[in-house]
Amino acid sequence: MQIKCENIKYIYNPKDPNSYYALDDISLEIEKGDFVAIVGKTGSGKSTLIQTFNGLILPTSGYSQVEYFYITSDKKLFKSKIKNLSKQEQIDNKKQYMLRKKVGMVFQFPEYQLFAETVLKDVMFGPRNFKVPEEEAKELSKKALSEVGISEEYYEKSPFELSGGEKRRVAIAGILASNPDILILDEPTAGLDPDGKKDLIKLIKEIHESGKTVILVTHDMDVVMECASKVVVLNDAKLMKICTPEELFNGDDFETFALEIPTFYKFKKMLIEKGYKKDISSINDFDSLMGVLGEKHE
């Protein structure tokens, strides 16, 4: 396991008499190389959960863990957890930037965080922030820009001259330039047009295939079905389910999560409701379904 949460709870503004848990007793595990989708209606705690993975949010109780890094505001628990680590690992645990470098986070609407005069300088900000020397940072940034499909003629442009999809690619390059092992993206396709969305999903899949663990917060169930190996379902701060996309969309409880049904499952459900005779309950993709539909009827 690469990431773990053990009974984490989180309260924003704990002193406020009206405060409530934004995360309520969540435990889960994520393996290296997983492609995890985090889903749930607005306000269910998705953004809060992912921010515990890079230490921007410290669980009020319980802990999140990324490899040997422990993340909690419970000092006693933290001490007891790091006690068995090597000396070096204990020291690393106290350096925030080491965890931030390991876990790259692309926030929702990352284009709002572009600020440098040029695209290249903006991307270089990440590695420079992690103390990478100028020339090396430049090389890493060029490589990251090429990975996200931004060509050389863009290097000296102002980020503000770019289209929405391009801005978002530059923002992702800014994270990739520090070569994180884990990439977290919070609703990366929100507000993009269909082509921009398709291209971005393709890019995220390529990043996953290059060997990184990817965690994607999304409302788009077609994307979940297409990309995710594992789905984490949150509702009102609680963990409802961890399962495969197939288990989620075929599950009897699916409707209780207020999630959109993917196009494929909408179609399959319609067929079953209209009385289609063959058993298609275990079919989970269009190709296999078309195969069955194309067979001769007896």
Ligand X SMILES: Nc1ncnc2c1ncn2[C@@H]1O[C@H](COP(=O)(O)OP(=O)(O)O)[C@@H](O)[C@H]1O
Binding site for ligand X (CB under 6 A): 12-13, 22, 40, 42-48
Q: Binding residue for Mg ion (CB under 5 A) from 44, 47, 51, 72?
A: 47
With binding defined as CB under 5 A, does residue 51 bind Mg ion?
no
Judged by CB under 5 A, how many residues of this single chain contact Mg ion? 2
Task: Give me the least distance between CB of 193 and Mg ion, in Å please.
Answer: 21
Q: Which stretch binds Mg ion (CB under 5 A): 16-24, 39-47, 201-209, 271-279?
A: 39-47
Residue 104's binding partner among ligand X, Mg ion, none (Cβ under 5 to 8 angstroms by kind) is none
Site residues for Mg ion, 74-103, by CB under 5 A, read none
42 binds, among Mg ion, ligand X, none (CB under 5 to 8 A by kind): ligand X
Q: Which residue do the tokens 């890079």 mark?
A: 54
Please calculate the CA angle 53-221-110 and round it to the nearest 5 degrees: 45
Least separation in angstroms between CB 49 and ligand X: 7
Window contacting Mg ion (CB under 5 A); options: 44-52, 119-127, 171-179, 233-241: 44-52
Binding at 12: pick from Mg ion, ligand X, none (beta carbon under 5-8 Å per type): ligand X
| 54 near Mg ion, rule: CB under 5 A | no
Is 13 or 158 the residue whose CB approaches ligand X more closely?
Answer: 13
Regarding 44 and contact with Mg ion (CB under 5 A), the answer is no
Compute the least distance from the CB of residue 19 to ligand X, in Å. Answer: 8
Minimum Å gap between C-beta 133 and ligand X is 36
For ligand X, the closer of residues 92 and 187 by Cβ is: 187
Chain residue whose CB lies nearest Mg ion: 47
